[in-house]
Structure 1
Amino acid sequence: MSKRSCIFLFLATMSLSHWAVSQQPQVIDRVAAVVGSNIILQSEIEMEYAQYLAQGNKASEDFKCYILQQQLTQKLLAQQAAIDSIEVSESEVDDNINARLRYMSGQAGGQERLERFLNRSLLQYKEEMRPSVYEQLKANKMQQNIVSGIDVTPLEVRRYYESLNKDSLPYFNTEVEVGELVVYPQLTREEKQQFRDRAESLRRQVAEGADFATIARLYSQDGGSAPYGGDLGFSTRDRYVKEFSAVAFRLKPGELSPVFESEHGFHFLEVLERRGEEVRVRHVLIQTKPTEASLNRAKAHIDSIYDRVVSKKLDFYTAATLYSDNKETKYNGGMLLNMENQQSRTTLIPVDKLDASVFTAIDTLQPGQYSRPARFTDAMGKVGYQFTYLKSRTPPHQANLEQDFAKIKEAALEDKINRKLSEWFERRRKVTFISINADYHGCDDLKIWLQDSGGTTVAQR
């Protein structure tokens, strides 16, 4: 692993380490390293190593070196975060831990199975995780502060490109620019009534004394919260759709809401706790399903839009902005974005990164053409109709400024960020006491940490 990647690849993944290590033989603990006033225990490294093995990887002592390198990085960042008074709220820690536990419960096959596997309650386990998660979030914020505001000018992009070895420039596969216009069926009030009635019936059971959590587990169609009795944890107003927020932040703890509608279906909720600008609620969701009549109306609607676009009575970008029901693309004029290029937001997408349905839709199209409207099911299970627009198709080529400015700009920005971080770490390392156990002195990942620092790098035993 290169020095650059081992310095900057930071532990920000959902950790299963405690889970995995609970099944591993325990070792007598010792200090693996000291960073300033903080220590890194061998048990912490073994926890992360157990996660690595639990994911099906082969045993590798070198990976323990990599884990220690990441721990050193995290400690250094967290220490500076404390000096700079960077704060992490309890709700941020709670949200992070809850997300980890939802993931772990999914891996284990449910909350009860996870608790049996851990041999402890999730409440107890959450408290065990809290210090580590808190430090990790502080370190992440510190790293974001270090690189905030960094950008590159067009001149810097050109200079970066000219500094590259032309024989080693990347070769890009075929790329396309693709747009889509999506129409979902809209139900009439009468068509929605059966779903509202179902939600009303469940709410009535809760109001008459049935256990809310049991009703949510059995009947709620929100797959993310139903296994937890509908509990959504603490969240701020902006985390929910507006209809949900309006109800959740109006009620007092213990109050049960009436049934209300959002884009997801019909809900009712109970406020469990309020904490400043945050509220913790649990809810039951009954999703609406399209009727055959609503599907026929949606098909007629998108056919009409398609005819106007193809006959050039309406341009595609305007049509998508006005009529598409895909909120992720309609404000881009219907154009899909390359999600691997978050910073540059380029519309150029390698064909091997396209969804299979999109690739099939454009495979026989020429630039400027449209696929016929067709029925589809999205990632959330919603049924609708869409047609696709192929704006451009770029043949395979070696990277150049004319065709690939956005990609080269992203690489130049990453290089500038890495240099900034490298300079920061080097300065902090030189004035910070760092001591690493002699067992790790042969690690390539740790060579830079074994150089002179603010304290002697003592070989601990």
Structure 2
Amino acid sequence: MALFKKTILFVGLFGSILFGAKAQDNVIDQIVWVVGDEAILKSDVEGVRMQMQLEKERFDGDPYCLIPEQLAVQKLFLHQAKVDSIDVDNTNVTRTVDRRISNAISSLGSQEKLEEYLGKTISQLREEWREQVRDNEIVNKVQQKLVGNVKLTPAEIRNYYTQLPQDSLPFIPTTVEVEIITMNPKVPQAEIDAVKNKLRDFTDRVNKKETDFATLALLYSEDTESAKRGGELGFMGRAQLVPEFANAAFMLNDPLKVSNIVESEYGFHIIQLIEKRGDRVNVRHILLKPNIPTEELSKTTARMDSLTQDLNAKKFTFEEAASYISADKDTRNNKGLMVNKNDYSTYAGTSRFRMEDLPQEVARVVDKLAVGELSKPFTMLGSNGKQTVAIVKVRQRVDAHKANLSDDYQVMKSIVEGKKREEVLKKWVQDKIKATYVRIDDDWKNCDFQHTGWIK
């Protein structure tokens, strides 16, 4: 069979990308926008559209107007990143891509269906999405730099609030402040021994080259996210790992060897080195957690029930019990008060939670409690993924209401500063459009664009 090289030809500024001698019969792509010296292809737009459909994102308008404009704005920010020498850590990019691929496979049911839907192999998608994610993170960094100095005084926030019509005030959902005490069931030594024996068996099978470490991780690891990647964690520094795990991971030097069994707050691990880069390491691991017998859960629930009776009898306060008894290290030093750590929440970093911000098991119990009332003991998964028995008390509840400055200053501050940042970024984009060469294919001009000045 004769081998030949296909030649890519660009026909005109807005011509199609063609292959081979009979190019006119094999149109596969088209340049629809040009921003500076960067082209936006029809395939770029289609790729984003299909990905948004896959991820069930809603189109707020015509996707063939919305998407190319978003890509054009992105190119303005990416050009600024080059000017400012802004780059991002590839570790976070890889993690985001892995998570996106896992979610896409879960959504469609299999890797094969994902490849069929998008018409690309997983390796092709990984490379394409890596570039997309990297660009998005760079754009975020540029935007953060542009709006980093946006700070408003309390007077400016009050002024904004007083000028808002009542029907424009945001609706604030019910929020609560919750105190918690947890107690961990005792794990029988027999269960610990069973887990260790299983991990030793895995190590033996890997050392004898009977089974690949990644395959065992995929099949058996109880760290469900990394298990999808064959146990791989991606490059991490010591501070990103719990101390016991970090010590073992950074001591590994031979990718063919498996670590000794490592115990951490999450359970028991074995670790295999993939690669070291300076002060970062990429490893894969298998995590197993000992089973907690039903009778041990029952015993712990009974002890927690006795504690609840003592609290109701006022033998000591909930805060005192949390400080001395609670197994949860995150709240123990805070006298039991839970802190909202959800990055997406308006109340992140505070003690206020919307119901959807709380752990599911806690939210179910809190929803039925009055302020100051103690719950009955219930079972939940702790932050380390292990079963624990808990009791909670609602310290404060603020019912759903229209925003006001006395109860919702932080919310109003976030809203006002967010609007100010939007104004700064919108002005920056408008100024860049004026100073940048832009051409749009005639068939793609009939749009109600979010920014003005594209068509010159």
State the TM-score bracket (shorter-chain normalisation): 0.7 to 0.9
Q: Given the alignment, which residue of 431, 437, 444 partners 2:441?
A: 437
Q: Given the alignment, which residue of 331, 334, 337 partners 2:337?
A: 334
1:93 aligns with 2:93: yes
Q: Residues 177-218 of structure 1: CA distance to partner in whole angstroms, max 9, x if unpaired?
A: 333222232425454222112111221222222222333333
Cα distance in 1, alignment partners of residues 356 and 57 from structure 2 = 27
Secondary structure in structure 2 of the residue aligned to 1:224:
helix
Q: Given the alignment, which residue of 258, 264, 279 partners 1:262?
A: 264
Query: 1:292 and 1:41, CA in 2 relative to 1: closer, same or farther beyond 3 A?
Result: same
Specify the alignment match of 2:217 in structure 1: 216
Cα distance in 2, alignment partners of residues 277 and 285 from structure 1 = 24
Q: Residues 46-80 of structure 1: CA distance to partner in whole angstroms, max 9, x if unpaired?
A: 11122344456899971221112211221111110
Q: Given the alignment, which residue of 282, 289, 292 partners 2:291?
A: 289
Secondary structure in structure 1 of the residue aligned to 2:449:
helix
Query: 1:197 and 1:356, CA in 2 relative to 1: closer, same or farther beyond 3 A?
Result: closer
Gaps spanning 5+ residues in structure 1: where? Answer: 1-25, 451-456
Query: 1:156 and 1:391, CA in 2 relative to 1: closer, same or farther beyond 3 A?
Result: same
Cα distance in 1, alignment partners of residues 36 and 423 from structure 2 = 24
Specify the alignment match of 1:9 in structure 2: none
Question: Is the 1:65–1:446 contact (alpha carbons within 8 Å) kept by the matching residues of 2?
Answer: no
Specify the alignment match of 1:159 in structure 2: 159
Specify the alignment match of 2:16 in structure 1: none
Cα distance in 2, alignment partners of residues 40 and 344 from structure 1 = 38
Q: Given the alignment, which residue of 391, 396, 401 partners 2:395?
A: 391
Question: Is the 1:344–1:410 contact (alpha carbons within 8 Å) kept by the matching residues of 2?
Answer: no
Question: Is the 2:369–2:394 contact (alpha carbons within 8 Å) kept by the matching residues of 1?
Answer: yes
Specify the alignment match of 1:65 in structure 2: 65
Out of 80-89 and 335-344, give the one that drifted further: 335-344
Specify the alignment match of 1:169 in structure 2: 169
Cα distance in 2, alignment partners of residues 390 and 60 from structure 1 = 39
Cα distance in 2, alignment partners of residues 263 and 294 from structure 1 = 19
Question: Is the 1:346–1:406 contact (alpha carbons within 8 Å) kept by the matching residues of 2?
Answer: no
Out of 146-155 and 109-118, give the one that drifted further: 109-118
Out of 310-319 and 198-207, give the one that drifted further: 310-319
Cα distance in 1, alignment partners of residues 92 and 370 from structure 2 = 48
Specify the alignment match of 1:306 in structure 2: 308
Q: Residues 339-378 of structure 1: CA distance to partner in whole angstroms, max 9, x if unpaired?
A: 4534664444445776664454245533222112223456
Specify the alignment match of 2:50 in structure 1: 50
Question: Is the 2:180–2:322 contact (alpha carbons within 8 Å) kept by the matching residues of 1?
Answer: yes
Specify the alignment match of 1:20 in structure 2: none
Q: Residues 405-446 of structure 1: CA distance to partner in whole angstroms, max 9, x if unpaired?
A: 222122122122222222322333332223333333332234
Letter in 2 for 1:369: E
Letter in 1 for 2:259: S
Cα distance in 1, alignment partners of residues 185 and 203 from structure 2 = 27
Query: 1:126 and 1:158, CA in 2 relative to 1: closer, same or farther beyond 3 A?
Result: same
Cα distance in 2, alignment partners of residues 227 and 49 from structure 1 = 26
Secondary structure in structure 2 of the residue aligned to 1:411:
helix
Taking only aligned residues, the RMSD between alpha carbons, in angstroms, comes to 3.2
Displacement of 1:296: 4.3
Query: 1:57 and 1:260, CA in 2 relative to 1: closer, same or farther beyond 3 A?
Result: closer
Q: How high is the TM-score relative to the length of structure 1?
A: 0.81
Question: Is the 2:65–2:449 contact (alpha carbons within 8 Å) kept by the matching residues of 1?
Answer: yes
- Which structure 2 residues correspond to residues 172-191 of structure 1 after superposition, within 5 A? 172-191=172-191
Secondary structure in structure 2 of the residue aligned to 1:30:
strand
Cα distance in 2, alignment partners of residues 321 and 434 from structure 1 = 63
- Which structure 2 residues correspond to residues 10-409 of structure 1 after superposition, within 5 A? 28-54=28-54, 62-111=62-111, 114=114, 121-211=121-211, 212-254=213-255, 255-303=257-305, 305-326=307-328, 329-330=331-332, 332=334, 333-335=336-338, 337=340, 339=342, 340-342=344-346, 345-350=349-354, 357-377=361-381, 382-409=386-413
Cα distance in 2, alignment partners of residues 121 and 249 from structure 1 = 34
Cα distance in 2, alignment partners of residues 360 and 136 from structure 1 = 36
Letter in 1 for 2:99: A
Q: How high is the TM-score relative to the length of structure 2?
A: 0.81
Displacement of 1:41: 1.4
Displacement of 1:154: 2.1
Letter in 2 for 1:248: A
Q: Given the alignment, which residue of 418, 424, 430 partners 1:426?
A: 430
Cα distance in 2, alignment partners of residues 126 and 364 from structure 1 = 45
Displacement of 1:275: 1.8
Question: Is the 2:216–2:230 contact (alpha carbons within 8 Å) kept by the matching residues of 1?
Answer: yes
Q: Given the alignment, which residue of 409, 414, 417 partners 1:413?
A: 417
Cα distance in 1, alignment partners of residues 444 and 330 from structure 2 = 48
Aligned residues: 427
Query: 1:31 and 1:317, CA in 2 relative to 1: closer, same or farther beyond 3 A?
Result: farther
Cα distance in 2, alignment partners of residues 272 and 57 from structure 1 = 36
* Identity across the alignment (%): 32
Question: Is the 1:434–1:449 contact (alpha carbons within 8 Å) kept by the matching residues of 2?
Answer: no
Cα distance in 2, alignment partners of residues 324 and 177 from structure 1 = 18
Secondary structure in structure 2 of the residue aligned to 1:232:
coil
Cα distance in 2, alignment partners of residues 276 and 401 from structure 1 = 49
Query: 1:288 and 1:348, CA in 2 relative to 1: closer, same or farther beyond 3 A?
Result: same
Letter in 2 for 1:216: A
